[in-house]
């Protein structure tokens, strides 16, 4: 089982870095325009991008999305991401830690707290593993092992269905999620992997005790495409590619979940590619935004490339806020976006 998990993780990392795995549909942010203010009545230096999310300060409302771990290359990338997260004052999610549960000697590929002592750090496990004997104690060990501030439970039924080795029994998961949320000492975040969470599912998760929702909508990396590139036969590949563009676009998911759950902490991820997208996501109702593939590819290239990408995102967000006359994140979230005809 471990060798299979390790191979899958290495495959995922290689394919994400080397193949064309993006959806050919957008996340939907091009449908919206931020309101330009010709007289913002503030200076650029007055714009305050800092915010608080799940009790932790963020220098700007951004999270490095869960990506990797469980292999030596994944560990190297995680360390680079963690150093950057500390320097930029943003949060970070770890990749799925199932491999580390199966083989504790792989925990070092996820242990990045010493590189990022102050950040919001989130451990990560597939929710379906709760149907495979991973109970409260296993989740607690995962959180404690990496000194995490929260646990992400990722929901990926479509991806699992497209894997030849996938876990596809998602039955009766909600009561197990509820027991975990009640018992675990840190907040639980529910996250899709790129096909979106809609309002009804989000409502059920929050009622079960989930502290935050990451909609992780369609428009970015397609895990159906990733699995198609892993396929061993023509039928498996054809089926996987048929679902390449499946899901709820991120912008739509953010609006829908925010309308249904006005107070739930909400993360926008899936197809965001710039600080302008971050600004639009917040104006649509998100509390924070997150990216994966652009940062993964930058981190794999070099520390300098990763810093370039994060600094560009930060400055684009700041300039967008200035050009809208939004002096802080709360003001940005009060803006009304204009739909583009």
Confidence at residue 13, expressed as pLDDT on a 0 to 100 scale: 82
The model's confidence at residue 15, banded by pLDDT at 50, 70 and 90, is confident
Average pLDDT of span 32-45: 97
Q: Where are the alpha helices (DSSP H) in 103-198?
A: 136-146, 157-162, 173-183
Q: Where are any strands of DSSP class E within the chain?
A: 32-33, 51-53, 56-58, 62-64, 91-93, 121-126, 150-155, 188-192, 212-214, 266-269, 288-291, 338-339
At residue 4, the pLDDT reads 61
State the pLDDT confidence band at 12, using cuts at 50, 70 and 90. Answer: confident
Give the model's confidence band at 99: pLDDT under 50 very low, under 70 low, under 90 confident, else very high. Answer: confident
**pTM higher than 0.85, yes or no?**
yes
**pLDDT surpassing 80 at residue 161:** yes
Q: What is the mean pLDDT of the chain?
A: 95
Interacting residues of 270 by C-beta distance below 8 A, sequence separation 6+: 27, 192, 194, 196, 215, 216, 217, 218, 219, 220, 249, 250, 253
Question: How many residues appear in the chain?
Answer: 341
CA distance 168 to 128: 8
Q: Is the pLDDT of residue 193 over 90?
A: yes
Closest CA to 290 of 320, 321, 265, 267: 267
CA angle 26, 196, 106 (to 5 degrees): 105
Q: Where does the pLDDT of residue 6 fall: very low under 50, low under 70, confident under 90, or very high at 90 and above?
A: low
Mean pLDDT calculated for residue range 85-101: 95
What is the CATH number that goes with domain 2-339?
A: 3.20.20.70
Q: pLDDT (tens digit, 9 = 90+) per residue, 55-81?
A: 999 999 999 999 998 888 999 999 999
Count CB-CB contacts under 10 A for residue 262.
9
Please check the confidence at residue 5 and state whether its pLDDT lies above 90. Answer: no
Tell me the three state secondary structure of residue 225: helix
Lowest mean pLDDT segment, chosen from 29-33, 102-106, 189-193, 261-265: 102-106
Beta bridge partners of 339: 32
Contacting residues for 187 by C-beta, under 8 A, at least 6 apart = 54, 149, 150, 151, 211, 212
Q: Summarize pLDDT for 109-136 with one digit per residue, the tens.
A: 999 999 999 999 999 999 999 999 999 9
> What does the pLDDT read at residue 136?
96
pLDDT, tens digit, 9 for 90 and up, residues 267-310: 999 999 999 999 999 999 999 999 999 999 999 999 999 999 99
* pLDDT for the residue numbered 165: 86
Taken in order 10, 151, 110, 100, is the CA torsion positive or negative?
negative
What is the DSSP-derived secondary structure letter of residue 37? -
Domain assignments of the chain as residue spans, ordered by start: 2-339
The alpha carbon of residue 151 and the mean position of all alpha carbons in its chain are separated, in whole angstroms, by 12
Confidence of residue 203 (pLDDT cuts 50, 70, 90): very high
Intra-chain end-to-end CA distance of the chain, in Å = 51
Q: What is the mean pLDDT of residues 42-63?
A: 98
Q: Return the percentage of the chain with pLDDT > 70, whole number.
A: 97
pLDDT for the residue numbered 102: 85
Angle 293-301/2-18 helices, nearest 10 degrees?
90
Packed helices 303-324 and 72-88: angle between N→C axes, nearest 10 degrees: 40
pLDDT band of residue 158 (cuts 50, 70, 90) is very high
């Amino acid at each position: 089982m471990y060798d299979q998990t390790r191979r899958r993780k290495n495959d995922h990392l290689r394919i994400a870095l080397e193949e064309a795995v993006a959806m050919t549909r957008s996340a939907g942010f091009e449908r919206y325009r931020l309101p330009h203010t010709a007289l913002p009545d503030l200076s650029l230096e007055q714009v305050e991008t800092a915010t608080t999310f799940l009790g932790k300060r963020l220098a700007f409302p951004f999270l490095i999305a869960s990506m990797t771990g469980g292999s030596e290359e994944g560990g190297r990338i995680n360390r680079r991401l963690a150093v950057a997260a500390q320097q930029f004052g943003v949060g970070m999610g770890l990749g799925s830690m199932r491999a580390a549960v199966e083989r504790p000697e792989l925990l070092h590929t996820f242990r990045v707290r010493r590189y990022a002592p102050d950040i919001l750090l989130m451990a990560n496990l597939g929710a379906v593993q709760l149907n495979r004997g991973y109970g409260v104690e296993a989740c607690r060990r995962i959180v404690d092992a990496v000194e995490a501030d929260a646990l992400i439970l990722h929901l990926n039924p479509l991806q699992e269905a497209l894997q030849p080795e996938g876990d596809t029994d998602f039955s009766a998961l909600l009561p197990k999620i509820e027991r975990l949320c009640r018992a675990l000492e840190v907040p639980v975040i529910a996250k899709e992997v790129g096909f979106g969470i809609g309002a009804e599912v989000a409502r059920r998760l929050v009622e079960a005790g989930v502290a935050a929702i990451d909609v992780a909508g369609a428009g970015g990396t397609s895990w159906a495409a990733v699995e198609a590139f892993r396929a061993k036969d023509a039928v498996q590949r054809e089926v996987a590619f048929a679902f390449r563009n499946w899901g709820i676009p991120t912008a739509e998911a953010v609006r829908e979940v925010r309308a249904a759950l006005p107070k739930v902490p909400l993360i926008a991820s899936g197809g965001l590619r710039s600080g302008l997208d971050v600004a639009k996501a917040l104006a649509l109702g998100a509390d924070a935004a997150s990216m994966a593939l652009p940062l993964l590819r930058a981190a794999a290239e070099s520390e300098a490339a990763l810093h370039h990408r994060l600094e560009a995102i930060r400055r684009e967000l700041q300039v967008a806020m200035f050009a809208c006359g939004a002096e802080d994140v709360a003001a940005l979230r009060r803006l009304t976006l204009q739909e583009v005809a």
